[in-house]
Structure 1
């Protein structure tokens, strides 16, 4: 990886985020199991888990992980931070294997290994984070013709999906809901980077919240998050979570890296070999993620009729999609 202290900070925060978020699913599931033994299960509409300390520990752990993930975008480029979200699946799968006795199939282990190899490849070849001294610089990058064109294309595509495709195809084609979340998510991450940079600079003594641009990016993030919550919930309620998760991860990560490349021009300082290596690492992670999800039930015991169903985690920065 490039000799950049900011990249190192971003890497540590991103990995820490994955550890916390991966752990949170296991802790929350322990809480759900304990609550299910004492009252109505969550799958049956019960809310006994709200009185279970283990479940709340899991929620707190997840919040800590999301804060770390948010902070990571302030220090490192999206091409480094976003793909590392796959590590939370690995950590969750490994903990489930040893703590919950949910056996990890050999193909699942191969998926974990592929994600690790891909993540390491990206980390070793990640570009430098662009030096930004004011949120106004981010605004300047955001209103350049290239990124403005991307933003307009995303807005048009999302409007077509929401107003034409959803009423006609939403309940039968998962890609409609997931496409809305992924396209909007790429803009969300750009807004998160802007707000994260503003916070970092403000903590360093250079107040950025006196600028209109900081508040614009903050409102953008909140609005995009609400839109994603709505359509991600529709996707998860309509289709199999095990299918939604990897497809959403692939689309979200792809559009986020594309948006970051256009806005921050993170690959300008790299040669073709470095870019190709990063793309290879990215596709390796995608392969590992799909393999993990496709084989997640292999080798496990059949689910009993009254046992709770716990959705597998969805990846990406977005805390709203993991809740």
Structure 2
């Protein structure tokens, strides 16, 4: 294993990797919030039957290009520093997330958001100070040998089982929500898990994409030094694996943003993405073995501070309505009831509360225009 002079140059330019990672994180986050904004505008401006898929929404596509551009910058940054340093620095996206969500999506910036953001920034500073700065070069054979390590086999098995379990749970929760409804006892059991499942899947796949991207960056460094690594099947298999994980990351993140708040989805995604990326880089590239005990302890502390800030940002009420909006929604619901009774030639009167099944049957049999007006008011 060796890169010659290029190794010394790349080790001395680790700060370039930090800058590229921060810029890439901002681009990625702006793209994600543009995608969420596109979903919100689509929900408000179109009826259920006229809604477009996310690939047919121009703003979503622009957001996708920003996400891809940010990912490219992250990929280039991996050539200048170890994966265990690159991923925590990428947590700087939380600062941009809160700013974009507040300005673009009109989501409220709270005291809890400020504390979480401060923790993320503090953690990144600690990580940047104590992280291993050396970034080695590898050949294809050396990377394949690392994939065959017993410890990495355990890591890969754990990731595979986690993804399969989350996928099956997500499909079960979606089916329960569709068949039983949001307020049903069956769905209430999954109420807190459902919004976590999408960004968790996205974060796990995203972490694997970083692992494959780091491998590709190392192969390109070795190739630049004159030892061409792209003459065997290995690099192309790594490329396909990386692109597959990137697609799955975007896919599950898009589903999460369609259903839940960006200020919740993005922090949960980052929490899984950061922690698993650090763990994966440490296991695969054995980056922790190169660190002194004190540096490893402080690095771990910085990573925990970063993750705690992300968790702090994730602990917020979703879809919380102000008293005035509750009053407007209740008023519109009364208007809806009155118009529905008038349409059926019934006098407006108070009656006993209908059962959930009776309410569902009523909505299926009658015009939904007033009901949709109420829902638009709730989502406005």
Please say if residues 32 and 41 of structure 1, whose CA atoms lie closer than 8 Å, have aligned partners that are also in contact. Answer: no
Tell me the distance in 2 between the aligned counterparts of 1:57 and 1:90. Answer: 21
CA distance in 1, matches of 2:232, 2:199: 34
For the Cα contact (< 8 Å) 2:17–2:79, is it kept in 1?
A: yes
8 A contact 1:74–1:194 mirrored in 2: no
**CA deviation digits over 1:151-184, x for unaligned, max 9?**
2343345445556x56656763436655554444
* Residue of structure 2 equivalent to 1:22: 29
Q: Is it true that 1:115 corresponds to 2:120 in the alignment?
A: yes
Aligned partners of 1:49, 1:142: CA distance in 2, in Å? 35
Q: Deviations over 1:9-31 (max 9, x none)?
A: 32121111123223445666788
Distance 1:40 1:176, change over 3 A: closer
Who is 1:270 aligned against? 291
Q: Which residue of structure 1 lines up, in the alignment, with residue 347 of structure 2? A: none
| Larger RCO (alpha carbons 8 Å, 6+ apart) | 1
Per-residue CA shift, 1:63-101, capped at 9, x if unaligned?
Answer: 321210122223322221112232122123235556777
Unpaired runs of 5+ residues, structure 2, are: 1-9, 177-189, 330-374
| 1:249 matched residue in structure 2 | 270
Q: Which residues of structure 1 form unaligned runs of 5+?
A: 311-323
Rounded Cα–Cα distance in structure 2 between residues aligned with 1:227 and 1:205:
34
Normalised TM-score (structure 2): 0.64
Q: Check if 1:154 corresponds to 2:159.
A: yes
Aligned counterpart for 2:315 among listed residues 290, 294, 305: 294
Matching of residue 45 in structure 1 with residue 66 in structure 2? no
- The secondary structure found in structure 2 opposite 1:75 is coil
Alignment partner of 1:84 is 2:61:
no
Indicate the larger mover: 273-282 or 26-35.
26-35
Q: Distance in 2 between matches of 1:238 and 1:34?
A: 14
Superposed CA offset, 1:222-245 (max 9, x none)? 333445455555555666665444
Equivalents in 2 of 1:264, 1:186: separation in Å? 14
Alignment size in residue pairs: 305
62-71 vs 226-235, which moves further: 226-235
Whether the 8 Å contact between 1:103 and 1:300 is mirrored in structure 2 is: no
2:18 equivalent to 1:11: yes
Correspondence for 1:316: none
Within-5 A mapping of 1:197-216: 197-216=218-237
Query: What TM-score does the superposition give when structure 1 sets the normalisation length?
Result: 0.73
Deviation per CA, 1:182-228: give whole Å up to 9, x if none: 44444332212112222344345442211222112112223334454
Closer/same/farther in 2, CA of residues 153 and 99 from structure 1, 3 Å limit: closer
- Distance change (3 Å), C-alpha of 1:237 and 1:198: same
Contact 1:40 1:47 in 2 (8 A): no
Q: Structure 2: how far apart are the matches of 1:308 and 1:135?
A: 55
Q: Which has the larger radius of gyration?
A: 2
Equivalent pair of 1:22/1:92 in contact (CA under 8 Å): yes
Measured at CA, do residues 299 and 213 of structure 1 come closer, stay the same or move farther in structure 2, by a change above 3 Å? same
- In structure 2, what is the Cα distance between the partners aligned to 1:230 and 1:25? 12
Residues 1:223 and 2:230 are matched in the alignment: no
Displacement after TM superposition at 1:145 (Å):
2.1
* Equivalent runs, 1:65-80 vs 2, <5 Å: 65-80=70-85
Go from structure 1 to structure 2 and tell me whether the alpha carbon gap of 1:233 and 1:213 turns closer, same or farther (over 3 Å shift): same
The aligned counterpart of 2:136 is 131
**Pair 95,225 (structure 1): closer, same or farther in 2 beyond 3 Å:** closer
CA RMSD of aligned residues (A): 4.2
**Shift in CA distance, 158/99, structure 1 to aligned 2, threshold 3 Å:** closer
